[in-house]
Amino acid sequence: MSDGDVVSSAALRSPELTAARNLAVEAELYRIVDNFSREKLDVVVLKGAPLMRRLGEPISARALADNDLLVRRASLEAAEATLRGLGYRPTRPLRLSVSAGTGQHAMVRITPFLRHVVDLHWEAFHAPFRHVSPSLVWDHTELTVLGDRQLRVLDRPLTLIHIAAHFVWHAMGQVRLLRTIGRAWEAWEDMVDVGDLRRLAIRTGTLPSLEYSVGAAHELGLARTRLPQTTLRARLVSEILPPAELLRERPVPDYERMAVALLLVSARRAATHAFRLAVPRAAEAAILAHDTSVSAVARTYLFRPFHAARRLNEYRHELARLRDEADQEAWRRETVAPS
């Protein structure tokens, strides 16, 4: 799950209900961060309610589904234990989340009125941007004051880059993320050194994604200005997928849009990501199959070629059986036929 996902149709229809739910999600975030602080666990809040506050959005602007928290890989087990102490339970074993290579671990707490979800991240970026160094991410965090609290968040340049990468990871299908990019660019354009922003985008391999996303927001009237499209990839995708197309209904899953999104990524990382989509790791396949036995899925992968040979052999035997039955039926008819 990701912040901003639609929780219910009622939440969309009622700003009051959306605001009430978002305030509950925000209060739960503060409870978690306070407990992490007591346990001396470093944590960065990704997106969510703090980003809405930083951008000056009303709390009812969009429905929040969860809280996304970034922790250091070495603190992952301690972070999970702290969340367990707060009543959260994992949706799958932590070892499976780690071996799956997704960089995140979902935990849930059910209350009489609300289902609280925390996505515990040890990598800030999703594939195909997971190559971004954790040390670089932590170096680009800052403290922000929200009420009487200080929360650690991504700094403005990395926040812009992170949202753009998230938009591309969703195959440019989440218009709400484009609105957030436009609002962030509007709010921070004068506070961010564009040269530093470009250099950081180059280091994270996200410059084409950033240029396309901010440009699309500008074309759709969500931002007054745009970043000049200096990369061939951003210009190419703008030609293939004009921003107006982003507003049209599309099939789910939209494989064509996924392929276009990969044009914004380097060829090597795009090829790696495409291969991972087509041939997931055994651990990922186990998650998709709701099976915690990675070894069982690995055995399935190993013996898959033999399954085809077995089915072919069974097919040959079935044909032989049917042929024998037909011969026997013909013989029976001949023997009982009147002379």
Check which CATH number belongs to the domain holding 148 and give it: 3.30.460.40
Cα first-last separation, the chain: 78
Q: In this structure, are 82 and 181 located in the same domain? A: no
Nearest Cα neighbor of 75 from 45, 105, 42 is: 42
Residues linked to residue 116 through DSSP beta bridges, in sequence order: 109
Q: What is the DSSP letter of 179?
A: H
Q: In this structure, are 148 and 162 located in the same domain? A: no
Q: How many domains does the chain have?
A: 2
Q: 336 in a domain, yes or no?
A: no
Q: In this structure, are 167 and 283 located in the same domain? A: yes
Q: 335 in a domain, yes or no?
A: no
Final residue before a domain boundary, out of 99, 128, 154? 154
pLDDT reading at 140 higher than 50: yes
> Per-residue confidence at 147, pLDDT binned at 50, 70, 90?
confident
Q: In this structure, are 5 and 130 located in the same domain? A: yes
Q: In this structure, are 146 and 21 located in the same domain? A: yes
Q: In this structure, are 149 and 1 located in the same domain? A: yes
Q: In this structure, are 125 and 233 located in the same domain? A: no
Q: 262 in a domain, yes or no?
A: yes
Q: In this structure, are 227 and 121 located in the same domain? A: no
| CB-based burial label for 11 (10 Å; 0-12, 13-18, 19+) | buried
Q: In this structure, are 203 and 125 located in the same domain? A: no
Record the tokens describing residue 278, joined without a space: 């087509």
pLDDT reading at 3 higher than 80: no
Record the pTM: 0.79
Q: 140 in a domain, yes or no?
A: yes
Q: In this structure, are 219 and 282 located in the same domain? A: yes
What is the percent of the chain where pLDDT is above 70? 81
Q: In this structure, are 130 and 160 located in the same domain? A: no
Q: In this structure, are 141 and 207 located in the same domain? A: no
Residues 52-93: tens digit of each pLDDT: 999 999 998 889 989 999 999 999 999 999 999 999 999 999
Final residue before a domain boundary, out of 98, 119, 154? 154
Rounded to the nearest integer, the mean pLDDT of the chain is: 85
Q: 330 in a domain, yes or no?
A: no
The dihedrals phi and psi of 3, each to the nearest 5 degrees, come to: -60, 145
- Length of the chain measured in residues: 339
Q: 235 in a domain, yes or no?
A: yes
Q: 300 in a domain, yes or no?
A: no
Q: What range defines the domain where residue 8 resides?
A: 1-154
Distance separating alpha carbons of residues 7 and 10, to the nearest angstrom: 8
Bigger pLDDT: 249 vs 217 = 217
